[in-house]
Structure 1
Amino acid sequence: MKITVTVNGRKIQEDAACDLLLIDFLRAHGCLSVKRGCETSNCGLCTVMLDGRPVLSCSVLAVRADGRRVETLEGLQEEAEEFGAFIADQGAEQCGFCNPGLMMNAIALFRENPEPEEEEIKEYLAGNLCRCSGYEGQLRGIQAYLAWKKGVRS
């Protein structure tokens, strides 16, 4: 089936097999931040924005993205760069494997709710498997980033 997907602002048209997963489509087009982890929709490593909403690309067929807009971490560098320093500052970047998925969900959270409560942050982190840190560093990094943003806006 011929599909047209806008990936990080670039229109891609190609034939796609009906069973091609979005993760494979994106990686074939150079989006290497989209990682394969559990392949059961449980770890969050493959999170991308589909029309501005976070989805797990390992559980979405590429044909379902036809006519839609997909953003990966490669396309969100400006948003991610600022926030990433706060995660690193908290020592939550140990191996870094989970960071792209975590950052995609954090960006979705910031867009949806610029001033989330701690429980809301934890809800967004819940879908991201991190084998190194125990999530406390990520939570502290997000809270520090939000406090900094609030100070910048004042």
Structure 2
Amino acid sequence: MRSQRFHREAVHRGLPEPGVRPAGAADGGVPAVRRGPGSGPGAAGSAVATVDRSSADGQAPAVAGVEPLPAVAGGGVLRTDARRNLHHVVSAARDVFGELGYEAPIEEIARRARVGVGTVYRRFPTKGSLIRHIVGEETRRLTERAERALGEEGDPWAAVEG
């Protein structure tokens, strides 16, 4: 009885029936969700408006005094809570990898970041992708320090060290 009700609700919401594979899923890929014209965010009568936030160079427009938000795979920006979670995950990962090395479990990173394991994997599908993100951040930070040091008078090496 209960499963029939859930089945009816799923079919009503446009979800595929059990045992039916949506087009594009036969090869193991994830099928794209397609909706009719005028049914997405920003459609007439919709409470959600769409905004073109891109500029000619493909970057988000700069606003004085506001740090740009991290980009997401779809080309948008992270919500405030997602940005905060990302910061916590990366910070916890730095600590955990520093203490336990590469073999550190993702579960420990999630626990210290106070997020679910799924939150970590949603942003970083593999441990390697999380490490690459941390290495990229550190490389950018050191590069910026070196560039500042080269532009300063005095001993550039002292500026890089300090």
Query: Does TM-score exceed 0.5, indicating one fold?
Result: no
Task: Determine which structure has greater relative contact order: mean sequence separation of CA pairs < 8 Å that are 6+ residues apart, divided by chain length.
Answer: 1
Structure index of larger Rg: 2
Structure with more of its chain in strand, by fraction: 1
With normalisation by structure 2, the TM-score equals: 0.25
